[in-house]
Structure 1
Amino acid sequence: MARPLTARLTVVALLGAALLVSACGLPRSGPTKGEIYKGSVEKGGTSHVIEVDDRVSRAANYSPAYGFGSDFRNAGQVGADEVRPGDVLGLSIWENVDDGLLTSLGASSTQLTELQVDSQGYIFVPYAGRVRAAGNSPEELRRIITQKLESQTPDPQVMVTRVAGDGATVSVMGKVNAQGVYPIERPTRTLSSMLSKSGGVSIEPEVAVVTVKRGNASGKVWLRDLYSNTRNDIALRPGDVILVEEDQRSFTALGALGGQTKVPLGNEQINAIEAVAMVGGLATLLADPKGVFVMRTEPQAVARAVLGRNDIYGDQRMAYVLNLTKPDGMFVARDFVIRDGDTVYVTEAPFVQWQKIMNSILGTASDVGTAESAFR
């Protein structure tokens, strides 16, 4: 009677272990493929789960490009010594008469010091009136004032000097060898020449990104593209802020992979096969090659193209499924481009979960047998 009872106890123990394992769950790296599908929009979830084929790959092949808009590219070069609002100017005026309009008796010249250019770009000069100073060089302003005074005093001679203010300047900051405020001069009117003036970049050129902020607008470009395409070598404007930084684009790799980490994208375009390879490839004993997911948020236009629907509004959560076991699965994955912020997640093979359950059950059974032996 003892052995049948022992066998029954063993079966009960195994069933109890199975139930315990089922209730408590097993260690794993993330959701299963089935759990991800349960979160699809079709099943009441918030994500679109899309199996990738050639059409989907082409529709999703959108990569936000760095570059400057037309407002940056079409801006003309400024003069080397433009007067700006806030500058303080000095005027010296000579008159070819003994008793001139501005000179006192016995004096041949008048000094007008500390004429500040107002917020609208004007200064006031006696007998010449309100004169537009901003946007002109000191030489151009000298000619304007001379013309205005000529009708009232014979052969006036005018000299304009800058008392305070730097004229047209830009700020260069970030990963450059000499941060600072630099004047826009004849040799430094373009972005590339100003970067050279600041000593060049202090990081590897391959990962350097240059951002130019102009008022409320901004644009950025790879340093490599700045020198390879002259359209990116924009003319600078007074007040521009130039920031050089290392590219921060990356994707995150999770699940049954050779490594789980955040991976920099660099300046090259990376596809799904390369992304998996960069973290050591699929974990041979764990990964399900039918369950390679790329998760991202797509803008409305791309989501509509991928789903083939025009009733999609706003950004959409997408879970793209790559099945590497299909005849063309590797080619499709090779053509699927990874973007900044993507999560590449590989699910575990169903067998792995079953193996974990069996190991847990058998381990529990062994523990029960050991305990039974102890009480004999």
Structure 2
Amino acid sequence: MLSFRGLTALCLCAVLTGCNAPRGAGFQSEVLAASEAATHDTDAQYDFAVEPVTRDRLAVLQSWPRVGPARHGWLNRSAGAGAPVISAGDLVSITIWDAAENSLLVGAGQRVTQLENLEVAPNGEIFLPFVGDVSVTGLTAAAARSRIEAKLLSTSPSAQVQLSMTPGQGKTVNLVSGVRAPGRYPLPDRSYGVLSLLSEGGGVDSGLVNPQIKLFRGGRIYSTSVERLFANPALDTTLQGRDRVIVEEEDRMFLSLGATGTQAQHLFPDDQVSALDALAIIGGLAEDRANAEGILILRTYPHRAVGQNGPSKPWVVFTLDLTSADGLFSAKSFEVMPGDLIYGTESPVTSARSILALFGATLGVASAL
């Protein structure tokens, strides 16, 4: 006949066998069980593919279509003349000197007359007294001055002209946000680039994560990262009048859950983030319970990507084994995409240890009875 102590121990053991040790994540076998069921049941609710990230498969996996928000293209730098040209809407100021007696251009007893802020008409002309309409669009300030002097020869052969131009709204760009001094900036010349504009605006806000720059021109949008722009001078796009430039924080994210260092959404700190980079960003794995052989990356592909040059199913689980050199090098090269979920599975060994610890504690309790 069992003693009271033995009976109590048996009861506690029965309780242990009837429950699982508390866990914060699933085992790899549990997470992937739905895929195994789907291979035998075409009506299974969770029908996804499982792809090991290994050196042999890496090239194929990386060739699949990208996912996430569409990335707009960017414009390379174009060569432009240094001196700005006059356009409709610009303001032209003209100073005329004439030493001739009884000059029609200057008042009696004077030698100079000034015509301030003449707006260039939509047809590209300005009006000058005793001269008429003069076309100045497409000319530099020096060329426009020479044209006006030539027009004055018939009425005032001795007249000399000085001309200055103030850009109109068509010669300005709007720096909207993401810098210390947003505002409207005039284009000093036709080779004025985005980097010069950012500098004039006081530089990019240092608090932005992986800042992105967007250029609105006409009805089109161009975008790239500031990091990429700084690294490649050929991308210093030449600005045009009425361009709008916005600098904003990166909006692409990935998610971490399970037995990882943190469970949260994470912004992409760089244009490209590898699986190893992502693990570093999320604080690695939970040392006391994570399965380093069972790191999962869950990704959803659009249906149009499924086929010969893409995954076999829209839902794909990529598996990484960080306990081997092959797995580590592959994870270093495998690129994380926006919207990916990085999931750390629970280690069966850790759970077994937890059960054994509980079992030991049970025996201790039973022996104390």
TM-score bin, normalised by smaller chain: 0.5 to 0.7
Pair 1:255-2:258 in alignment = yes
- Residue 60 of structure 1 deviates from its aligned partner by 3.4
Conserved in 1, the CA contact under 8 Å of 2:254 and 2:340? yes
CA RMSD of the aligned region, Å?
5.6
Equivalent AA in structure 1 for residue 321 of structure 2:
N
Matched residue, 1:217 = 221
Partners of 1:188 and 1:197 within 8 A in 2: no
Does residue 59 (structure 1) correspond to residue 60 (structure 2)? The answer is: yes
Residue 241 of structure 1 deviates from its aligned partner by 2.4
C-alpha distance after superposition, 1:75-110 (max 9, x if no partner): 44366544445446678999x9x9x9xxxxxxxx99
**Match for residue 236 of structure 2?**
233
Q: Please, which moves more after superposition, 85-94 or 43-52?
A: 85-94
Return the match for 1:336 from 323, 334, 342: 334
CA-to-aligned-CA distance 1:184-221 (integer Å, 9 cap, x gap)? 11497122223333333342899454433323221223
Contact 2:90 2:120 in 1 (8 A): yes
| 1:271 equivalent among 270, 274, 289 | 274
Shift of 1:290: 3.2
Which runs of structure 2 are paired with 1:85-164 in the superposition (5 Å)?
85-87=88-90, 122-123=124-125, 133=137, 135-140=138-143
Residue number among 280, 291, 312 corresponding to 2:294 in the alignment: 291
Matched positions, count: 353
Unaligned 5+ segments in structure 2 are 105-111
Match of residue 35 from structure 1: 31
When residues 132 and 317 of structure 1 are mapped into structure 2, their CA distance, relative to the original with a 3 A threshold, is: farther
Return closer, same or farther for 1:305/1:345 CA change in 2, 3 Å cut-off. farther
Matched, 1:191 2:191: no
1:66 touches 1:221 (CA, 8 Å); kept in 2?
A: no
User: Alignment partner of 2:332: what SS?
Assistant: helix
Contact 1:251 1:264 in 2 (8 A): yes
Q: Report the identity percentage.
A: 24
Q: Which letter maps to 1:181?
A: R
Aligned position for 1:181:
184
Counting only pairs closer than 5 Å after superposition, residues 319-334 of structure 1 correspond to structure 2 as 319-325=317-323, 328-334=326-332
**Residue 256 (structure 1) shift:** 0.9
Conserved 8 A contact 1:294-1:344:
yes
For residue 195 of structure 1, what is the amino acid of its counterpart?
L
Shift of 1:231: 0.8
Aligned-pair distance for 1:294?
A: 1.2
- Check 1:366–1:84 CA distance in 2 against 1; reply closer, same or farther (3 A cut): farther
Change in Cα spacing, 1:53 to 1:17, as seen in structure 2 (3 Å) is closer
Instruction: For residue 293 of structure 1, report the CA deviation from its aligned partner.
Output: 0.7
What amino acid is aligned across from residue 233 of structure 2 in structure 1? T
Give the residue type in structure 2 aligned to 1:219: S
Q: Contact 2:169/2:241 (CA < 8 Å) preserved in 1? A: no
| Structure 1 residue matching 2:242: 3-state secondary structure | coil
Q: What letter is aligned with 1:345?
A: Y
1:169 Cα deviation from its structure 2 partner:
1.4
TM-score (norm 2): 0.65
Select which of 64, 67, 76 maps to 1:73. Answer: 76
